Amino acid sequence: MDLRFTKEEQAFRDEVRQFCQTEIPLEIRRKVMEGRELRKEDIVTTQRILNAKGWAVPRWPAEWGGRPWTPIQHYIWTEELQQNGVPQPLAFNCDMVGPVIAAFGNEAQKKRFLPKAANLDDWWCQGFSEPGAGSDLAGLSTRAVRDGDHYVVSGQKTWTTLAQYADWIFCLVRTDPAAKKQSGISFLLIDMKSPGILVRPIVLIEGGREVNEVFFDDVRVPAENLIGEENRGWDYAKFLLSNERTGIARVGITKQRLSAVKRIAKQTPSGEGTAVWDNPAFRARFNQAQIELKALEITQMRVAASQSKNEGGRPDPASSILKIKGSELQQAATELAVEVAGPAALALVDRPLEGSNDPFAELEWASLAAQNYFNYRKVSIYGGSNEIQRNIIAKSVLGF
């Protein structure tokens, strides 16, 4: 595989980069590059700008907003967004429920949901994990009982990211308790305004409130919101999770963060009075992360190329490799940032700082480094824990 970009691909990279730097508000991009929390409005604004350009859902079918890009163009688009601090289109809409509806939904569902998902007129969240069914997702117990033209849903979902903003939730529910675990699950679309739904925040270790518990107390869901066939939800979930795990690699984000770590390390004095970057042990760990990131980048391009030849739409189990290594390298970047910060990482700065006269301004980046370190402990768990991904690789890739 020739990894050199052609002239046409380089021109496309330049086009995407210029668009990111000129059309996406600088204030939003700075938040991303500095590791700050985005507001709902920041994400909506960015996605609508991208959608107006035709770049919000490039992997969808063309009739619903997709682009006839090659795998290399998709890679370039993703990397340029990440390296320029552009919030990517909301994954729940664009990489998860959207592709499932496009692949397995009926025409009425496609017309109803896909345009709003692409423009973020509807904000979706994911109802998969439960208190007793996280990595063992097939062990979920939330039930949906058919009652005429409706399903009655009862149960609980947890770790539901950004459910506080969501208009809709796509859920895995058990519709046949007598079937084996994977065979009795269905895929339902549920309006978050339905009576009987309660959203309760979970406070994370760094103080963030991005994840939630969602409770369903006899929630009535129209049967027309069933995707595909009843009791086939596990197949649709596997299709969805393959898309999620590929996106979790986030090579461009890790590139940007390692670049920032290097810049700051050259400016930050160590305990010995020299810059942190002058410590050979630190440089060795940094260089090792960069080498592994380049290997991951090549692997991601190979997986993307193989998926473009996958006519049946079946998930590529090699996406589990991207999930494992991508999450490990994202964590490694936050660990290096905390090492640069040193004791200053203990400072708690929970508000934007204005102007250089603030006595805590020099500590803000260190505090953000610590917050991101704690927040990124989760990336090796969500989307299927890395331990589960190793099992998938052993069975589906290595044939054990």
Task: Judge if 223 and 313 occupy the same domain.
Answer: no
- CATH number of the domain encompassing residue 153: 2.40.110.10
Kindly give, in sequence order, each residue whose CB lies less than 8 Å from that of residue 263, ignoring residues fewer than 6 positions away. none
Domain boundary among 46, 62, 89: 89
Specify whether 213 is located in the same domain as 253.
no
Whether residues 371 and 268 fall in one domain: yes
Q: Which two tokens stand for residue 321?
A: 């490799």
User: Are 141 and 174 part of one and the same domain?
Assistant: yes
216, 153 in Cβ contact below 8 A? yes
pLDDT given at position 217 = 98
Q: Is residue 109 part of a domain?
A: no
For the beta carbon of residue 356, count every other beta carbon within 10 angstroms: 7
Cα dist from 251 to 185, 248, 299, 359, whole Å:
33, 9, 11, 35
Share of the chain residues as helix, strand and coil, in percent rounded to the nearest 5:
55, 15, 30
Does 106 reside within a domain?
no
Residue 172 contacts residue 237 (beta carbons within 8 Å): yes
Q: What is the pLDDT of residue 349?
A: 53
Same domain, 376 and 279: yes
**Measured between alpha carbons, how far is 94 from 77 in angstroms, rounded to an integer?**
14
CATH of the domain at 287: 1.20.140.10
Q: Are 186 and 226 in contact (CB under 8 A)?
A: yes
How far are the Cα atoms of 126, 199, 378 from residue 161, in angstroms, in the given order?
7, 11, 12
Answering whether pTM is above 0.95, one says: no
Rounded to 5 degrees, φ, ψ at 218 are: 50, 50
Rg (CA), the chain: 22
Give the type of residue at 35. Answer: G
- In order along its 400 residues, the chain shows pLDDT tens digits of 566 789 999 999 999 999 999 999 999 999 998 888 899 999 999 999 999 999 999 999 999 999 999 888 988 999 999 999 999 999 999 999 999 999 999 999 999 999 999 999 999 999 999 998 876 788 899 999 999 999 999 999 999 999 999 999 999 999 999 998 889 999 999 999 999 999 999 998 888 889 999 999 999 999 999 999 999 999 999 888 766 555 668 888 999 999 999 998 998 777 667 899 999 999 999 999 999 999 998 888 777 666 655 544 455 667 788 889 999 999 999 999 999 988 888 766 554 444 434 333 456 778 888 889 998 888 888 767 888 788 878 887 787 7
- Same domain assignment for residues 253 and 370: yes
Classify residue 364: in a domain, yes or no: yes
Q: Is residue 170 part of a domain?
A: yes
Residue 372 CA: distances (Å) to CA of 11, 246, 375, 376 = 34, 21, 5, 6
CA dihedral 238, 239, 241, 243 (to 10 degrees): 160
Domain co-membership, 273 together with 225: no
The domain of 188 spans 124-231
- Is the CA virtual torsion 97, 103, 104, 110 positive or negative? positive
Q: Map residue 294 onto helix, strand or coil.
A: helix
List, in sequence order, the alpha helices (H) in the chain: 7-23, 26-33, 40-53, 71-83, 91, 98-104, 107-118, 233-247, 251-267, 280-308, 319-341, 361-375, 386-392
User: Final residue of a domain: which of 72, 89, 106?
Assistant: 89
Task: Specify whether 221 is located in the same domain as 330.
Answer: no
- In angstroms, the Cα distances linking 256 to 225, 241, 260 are 40, 25, 6
How far is it, in rounded angstroms, from Cα 329 to Cα 358? 33
Domains in the chain, number: 3
Q: How far apart are CA 349 and CA 358, in angstroms?
A: 12
* 104 in any annotated domain: no
- On whether residue 96 sits in a domain, the answer given is no
Query: Distances in Å between the alpha carbon of 240 and those of 2, 4, 236, 309, 316?
Result: 29, 31, 6, 18, 11
Q: Would you say residue 114 lies in a domain?
A: no
Could you tell me if 225 and 267 lie in one domain?
Answer: no
Claim to verify: residue 294 and residue 359 sit in the same structural domain: yes
- 42, 71, 89 — which closes off a domain? 89
Considering the domain architecture, whether residues 370 and 256 belong to the same structural domain is answered as: yes
Residues 389 and 271 in one domain: yes
Q: Has residue 237 been placed in a domain?
A: no
